[in-house]
């Protein structure tokens, strides 16, 4: 197995682990961290695609990662929209200074966590299809 393909599988395995963590966190009511874990899953899913395409991945901005992927393959609008929503969960879910006042733990609700997980699952499935690891 080529090194890139091994690393692609590693990225997807971690993305799947983050999906499971997001679901567990959502079910315990830790909605901010569930949203963050969903963002992380999508990021790792996209990095799996980039790895499979032999494109170096840089940073955490899902829209930038999608843009890099779009230079080589077509990315559905639904994936772009999911990434746009998930991108909002990278910093504010973790840092109180992302808001004028209040901790992130109070800023997210069950609906946010459900949508984030749905979006992350869609990105994960897309990555599995693109990489051949579906």
| Beta carbons within 10 angstroms of residue 77's beta carbon | 8
Number of folded domains in the chain?
Answer: 1
Average pLDDT over residues 58-78: 97
Higher pLDDT, 83 or 57: 83
CATH code of the domain covering residue 18: 1.20.120.330
- Whole domain around residue 87: which residue ranges? 3-131
DSSP 66-91: HHHHHTTS---HHHHHHHHHHHTTSS
pLDDT of 134 reads: 79
pTM above 0.85, yes or no: yes
Average pLDDT over residues 59-67: 98
pLDDT of 6 reads: 78
Angle at the Cα of 114 (from 106 to 58), degrees rounded to 5?
Answer: 85
Decide: helix, strand or coil at residue 63. Answer: helix
Distance CA 133, CA 18 (A): 17
Average pLDDT over residues 58-68: 97
């Amino acid at each position: 197995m080529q090194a890139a393909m091994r690393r692609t599988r590693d990225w997807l395995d971690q993305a799947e682990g983050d999906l499971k963590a997001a679901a567990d966190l959502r079910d315990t009511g830790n909605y901010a961290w569930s949203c963050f874990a969903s963002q992380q899953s999508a990021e790792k899913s996209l990095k799996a695609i980039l790895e499979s395409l032999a494109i170096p991945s840089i940073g955490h901005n899902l829209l930038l990662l999608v843009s890099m992927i779009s230079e080589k393959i077509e990315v559905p609008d639904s994936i772009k929209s999911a990434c746009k929503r998930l991108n909002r969960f990278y910093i504010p879910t973790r840092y109180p200074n992302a808001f004028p006042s209040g901790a992130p733990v109070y800023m997210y609700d069950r609906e946010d966590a459900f949508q984030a997980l749905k979006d992350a699952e869609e990105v994960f499935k897309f990555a599995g299809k693109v990489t051949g690891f579906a």
